[in-house]
Amino acid sequence: MFYLDRAATTPVRREVLEAMWPFLTGVFGNPASTHGVGEQAARALDQARAEVAAFLGCRPAEVVFTTGGTEGANTAVKGIALATPRGRHVVTSAIEHEAVLASCSYLERFHGFDVTVLPVDADGRVDPAVLARALRADTTLVSIAHASNEIGTVQDVPALAEVAHAVGARFHTDAVQSAPWLPVGPGVLGADAVSIAGHKLGAPKGTGVLVVRTGVALEPLLHGGGQERGRRSGTVDVAGAVAIATACRLVAAERPAAAAQAAAVRDAVIDGVLARVPGAVRTGARADRLPGHASFCFPGDPSEPGAPAVNGETVLLELEQRDVVSSSGSACAAGSTEASHVLTALGLPEDVARTALRLTFDRTLLPGDVPTVVDAVADAVAAVRALG
């Protein structure tokens, strides 16, 4: 079986399981406790924080452990906006993850913020000049993802962050999808806050990190004991922190070679599908794209005028019959009958957006596997088209 849905989640790596196991068993102390059992857990937490900081090129004190990308995005968007007295205007893009869009909507509905949603081009890019025109004297935060989970397009976040900072606004980026492939530290991206999720890196679901640069005010979502330097109250999950730290260390060592190999396989998959499936269109950028990400839509067959677009969910079922597990886009929207807001933002009609196919993989998909995957996609689409 080819598991090509790694943008949704990845299996937990054995090294990660082995590293976290002691903190699920014998080393069970609360890291806030002052006795020996608690201090042992606290030392492990400090080490995990230092390892994550090394991965992200930030200070250990800037690392906040979370439960994943959704909590990180909520904390960054709501927390920075509500803590900063600059103004009540936030800016985001039309292709953001729902965690960001819903957080902006919350600020609008309950705190009187104005929200500006930026358009994107046909490949899903945000133009820094468009962002510059949208900024105002009262803009307090800009939140734009480093890379799209649905179409793989990588944004020029350093340029976008520079535009935001020029007027004094803070900048957050969702780096959940890019962290396995690209450097995503706040220094590299120029961001004030960066959120990542452990389960995209080979750590368990329910683990994550939000980096908040020193000096950036943050109103916490969770109040209580003041853990994580007051930015996230609640007893810290030491095993989870160790898990994501271990995953970060492994990814850092493998990332350059893995990215190069996956990018070559990605290009071969994209070229193969476009050549084999009549009318297939690539979604997302060709060059500025995540290495392990290929995505398509399948309008009607151009050789049969008037033929309808295929049903994307049916294509997924056909692919699974051919031992290829994939998705139509964001796992968070799986089962929804609505067309993807990301694909319609690119200008695709709703019926075409519903034909989406996303193939996401890592270095375990080898060049020799490409013909099998391409054949499976071509056969699956042909089978669905034959159904009429």
Cβ-count burial 291-327 (b if 16+ within 10 Å, e if not): bbbbbbbbbbbeeeeeeebbbbbebbebbeebebebb
Q: What is the pTM of this model?
A: 0.95
Tokens of 382: 């042909």
> Phi first, then psi: what are they for 208, rounded to 5°?
-170, 175
Q: Could you tell me the pLDDT band of residue 85, with boundaries at 50, 70 and 90? A: confident
Q: Which of 234-238, 271-275, 308-312, 328-332 has the lowest mean pLDDT?
A: 328-332
309: pLDDT confidence band, cut at 50, 70 and 90? confident
pLDDT digits (tens, 9 = 90+) for 14-41: 999 999 999 999 999 999 999 999 999 9
pLDDT band for 303, please (50, 70, 90 cuts): low
Would you state the pLDDT for residue 152?
98
SS3 53: helix
Closest Cα partner for 288 from 164, 176, 161, 157? 157
Average per-residue pLDDT for the chain: 95
Active site residue 332: yes
Domains of the chain and any CATH numbers: 12-251 (3.40.640.10), 255-386 (3.90.1150.10)
The pairs formed by 157-164 with CB atoms below 8 angstroms and a separation of 24 or more are 157/189, 157/190, 157/191, 158/188, 158/189, 158/190, 159/128, 160/126, 160/128, 160/131, 161/189, 161/190, 161/191, 161/192, 162/128, 162/190, 163/128, 163/131, 163/132, 163/135, 164/91, 164/131, 164/135, 164/139
Beta carbons of 83 and 112 less than 8 angstroms apart:
no
CB-based contacts of 375, cutoff 8 Å, min separation 6:
276
For residue 322, what pLDDT is reported?
A: 97
pLDDT average, residue stretch 281-296: 97
Q: Which of 104, 248, 297, 332 is catalytic?
A: 332
- pLDDT tens digit sequence for 156-191: 999 999 999 999 999 999 999 999 999 999 999 999
**Percentage of the chain exceeding pLDDT 90:** 92
Using one digit for the tens of pLDDT, what is the confidence trace for 227-250?
999 999 999 999 999 999 999 999
Question: C-alpha 63: how far from its chain's center?
Answer: 18
